[in-house]
Each structure stands twice: as structure tokens, then as C-alpha cells.
Amino acid sequence: MMTAINVKFKDLILSEDQDYLLINKPPFVSTLEDRNDPQNILALAKEYVAEAQVCHRLDKDTSGVLAIAKNPEAYRHLNMQFEDREVLKLYHAVVDGIHQFNNEVVDAPILKLNDGTVKISREGKRAKTSFITLQIYKSHTLVQCSPVTGRMHQIRIHLHSLNAPITGDQTYGGKPFFVSSIKRKFKLEKFTEELPLIKRMALHAFSLEFTNLKGERIVVRAPYPKDFSALLKQLSQNVR
């Protein structure tokens, strides 16, 4: 798997005040310490602010908005909002197939497995996500995902349960996206093999809404990274 190189923390910042940093996390970078990725977000944040603490996690391959507290009081304040489910998180995902979700709700418990994946099981913890279709293409769908709870791989397994796996998420049934699948005249150079257009799952944390220490409601949105934008650009040429 690719790893981001030479990430400059300042370039990731979407919003900053005395208590919080909101960044646009790039794909291929771990949120917390990772033996295989010394350049994790927490380490970069601590170089910028010594007391920095990451308030939630995004999977290594997931891009998008991530909240970082600059002091212990700010961390506790936002952590309590996560526990009380007062933080509004919206994700955008490209999924395989055609799906018309009109506030489709999946309320299905999730059980963590020993291999680092999850499954839906009555033995698991309660998990709830709602889905809205944003755009239908000929073979894929752009979906807005609103997780109420914050379980590991929640959006991924809930979309899989709807037979709408995230494009590129091969762990949960998603297929890689190749430009040749929508371009009939697509040609490769001799002796080369076509690579997927997006080398990860097509999942992006689009926005985060919470209350700061002054009692003000904060909304921060993260622009799509280049690979996600490139995927949507190709798909938009094949709108249903």
C-alpha cells in the first residue's frame, strides 16, 4: 500500500483557534502511532503543538476532516460530545452499483474480529448509520453517510450489508475501479498493466460539526483529495 511522503502538517490545516486544529487528513497516513508508518498524524500534530491530542480516528486509507485538541480541556470537551453523540459527522463514499438511498438507516450491531476486521453480529456493539444518495452514475453511486455511533469500520460494513460496498474496499467486497471499465477506447502502453484509478477505498470524511468551548457551533468541511476528485470526474462522464 502506498504511504504519503513529505506531509507538511501546516498544509493540512482547514481551521485553527486557541483550542482546536481541524485538518484534512490525507489518505495513506495513520491517525495514531503505526509501526509501519512513522509519519502519523498524532506525531505531526505534536511537533506543531506539544499537547496535541487526536479526538477521534480515521482509517489509514480514509481522507478527510479530523479534529485535534490543542490542550487537555479542549480534548475532554470534544470527547464528551463524541460520547454523548452530539458531534455530527458526514462522510462521502463512492460505492459499487446503482443505489437509491433516501435516508436509509442501518441499525446493526458490529463485532470486532481478531484479524482486524468486523462483522455484523448480535454479539457486537450497537451501531447505527444513515445513508442518502447524492449522485447516481452508470455503474456507481456517490453516497452521503451519517454515522450515529462510532464503531470500527462501521460505514464500510453497513454499506456492505446493503450490497453497496465502497469502491476499492476489497476487505468488505468493494471492487477496484479501472478507467477501462467506462472508456471503451482506453488503451495502455505496451507491456504495462492497468492500475486502479484510486488505490484505496473511496471514503472521505466530508464534514464535522461540534460545539467549541465558547458554546459556538463549529462546522468544518474538507475538500476532496486528488484521487477522490479524479474518480468522480471519470464517473461524471457516465451519469445515469
Choose the catalytic residue: 11, 19, 37, 59.
59
The label of the residue with cell 458526514 reads 90
Q: Can you give the pLDDT at residue 237?
A: 86
Which residues of the chain have a pLDDT value below 50?
Answer: 1-4
* Residue 2 pLDDT: 45
Structure-block grid coordinates of residue 222: 474538507
Query: What are the φ and ψ backbone dihedral angles of 18, each rounded to 5 degrees?
Result: -70, -15
Cell of 29: 497516513
Domains of the chain: 9-236 (3.30.2350.10)
Q: What is the 3-state secondary structure (H, E, C) of 74-143?
A: HHHHHHHHHHCCCCEEEEEEEEECCCCCEEEEEECCEEECCCCCEEECCCCECCEEEEEEEEEECCEEEE
Q: What angle do CA 234, 173, 116 make, to 5 degrees?
A: 120
Q: Return the closest-CA partner of residue 59 out of 30, 87, 101.
A: 30
Annotation says 59 is catalytic = yes
- Local structure of residue 224 (DSSP, 8 states): P
Q: For residue 73, what are the CA distances in angstroms to 69, 80, 99, 239?
A: 8, 11, 43, 47
pLDDT at site 181: 77
pLDDT of residue 33: 83
Residue 141 C-beta-side C-alpha neighbours within 13 Å: 21
Q: Give how far the C-alpha of residue 90 lies from the chain's centroid of Cα atoms, to the nearest Å.
A: 9
